[in-house]
Amino acid sequence: MNIKIFKNTDDIGKVAAMMFSTQVISKPNSILGLATGSTPIPTYKAMQKNYDEGLVDFSQVTTFNLDEYIGLSHSHNQSYYYFMQENLFRGINVKEENIHVPSGTSEDTDKIGCEYDAMIEASGGVDIQILGIGQNGHIAFNEPCDEFPMGTHKVTLTENTIEANARFFETKDEVPKFAITMGIGTIMKAKKIVIIATGENKADAVYGMVKGEIKPQMPASILQLHPDVTVLCDESAAKRIL
Binding site for ligand F6R (CB under 6 A): 35-39, 66-67, 132-134, 138-141
Q: Report in angstroms how near the CB of residue 108 gets to ligand F6R at its nearest.
A: 22
Pick between residue 9 and residue 39 the one whose CB is nearest to ligand F6R.
39
Pick between residue 56 and residue 131 the one whose CB is nearest to ligand F6R.
131
Q: Is residue 10 among the annotated active site residues?
A: no
Radius of gyration of the chain (CA): 17
Pick between residue 24 and residue 196 the one whose CB is nearest to ligand F6R.
196
Q: Which residue's beta carbon is nearest to the bound ligand F6R?
A: 132
Q: Which of 65, 136, 142, 165 is catalytic?
A: 136
Q: Report in angstroms how near the CB of residue 54 gets to ligand F6R at its nearest.
A: 29
Q: Report in angstroms how near the CB of residue 215 gets to ligand F6R at its nearest.
A: 18
Q: Report in angstroms how near the CB of residue 33 gets to ligand F6R at its nearest.
A: 10
Q: Which of 143, 153, 165, 234 is catalytic?
A: 143
Pick between residue 139 and residue 223 the one whose CB is nearest to ligand F6R.
139
Q: Is residue 121 among the annotated active site residues?
A: no
Q: Is residue 136 among the annotated active site residues?
A: yes
Pick between residue 24 and residue 179 the one whose CB is nearest to ligand F6R.
179
Q: Which of 50, 127, 138, 234 is catalytic?
A: 138
Tell me the C-alpha distance between 177 and 155, whole Å. Answer: 9
What do you get for the CA distance between the two ends of the chain, in Å? 14
Q: Which of 65, 67, 117, 142 is catalytic?
A: 67
Judge residue 85's burial from the number of C-beta atoms within 10 Å of its C-beta, 0-12 exposed, 13-18 middle, 19 or more buried.
Answer: middle
Q: Is residue 138 among the annotated active site residues?
A: yes
Tell me the C-alpha distance between 33 and 130, whole Å. Answer: 6
Q: Report in angstroms how near the CB of residue 179 gets to ligand F6R at its nearest.
A: 9
Active site residues: 67, 136, 138, 143
